[in-house]
Amino acid sequence: MKQDLSLDFQFKSSIKQVWNALTDSDKLAKWVMDNDFKPIVGHRFQFRREPVEGWDGIIHCEVLEVVEPHRLSYTWDSGGENTTIIWTLQENKDGTVHLHLDHNGFSKVQALGGAKYGWTSMCGQLEKVLVEL
């Protein structure tokens, strides 16, 4: 049975700033990892970091959906897990942004736990990147 991860984050930045941090390759590298991302449906790209024992350091992805500045989706294929990322952005009345992450399709409990830890940590880094903008 496949398992899904759902996380919510709040940022005191504009929706445009959060969207840019999700879709600009250079900004994305500051809080996720090196990449060759382009916000174009069908674009195949990779996230890359140093390999570790048992992992080559490469995440293979393909952009599935781009609805600026509200929704972004791509595949996430790494370590035998082929999952899907969906980012949903909503601007709140007070000017803050609600960022919702669905990371769907995990077959291994360990991978789901790793993703939860990883995304929580990376979105903490995202907050620091947004402060710099």
- Residue 48, phi then psi, degrees to nearest 5: -135, 135
Q: Which pTM value belongs to this model?
A: 0.96
Quote the DSSP letter at residue 52.
Answer: B
CA 103 centroid distance within chain:
9
Predicted confidence band at 93 (pLDDT cuts at 50, 70, 90)?
Answer: very high
Question: What mean pLDDT do residues 10-28 have?
Answer: 97
Sheet holding 97-106, edge to edge: 3-11, 97-106, 81-91, 71-78, 58-67, 44-48, 34-35
Q: What gap in Å lies between CA 16 and CA 49, rounded to an integer?
A: 27
Question: What mean pLDDT do residues 74-94 have?
Answer: 96
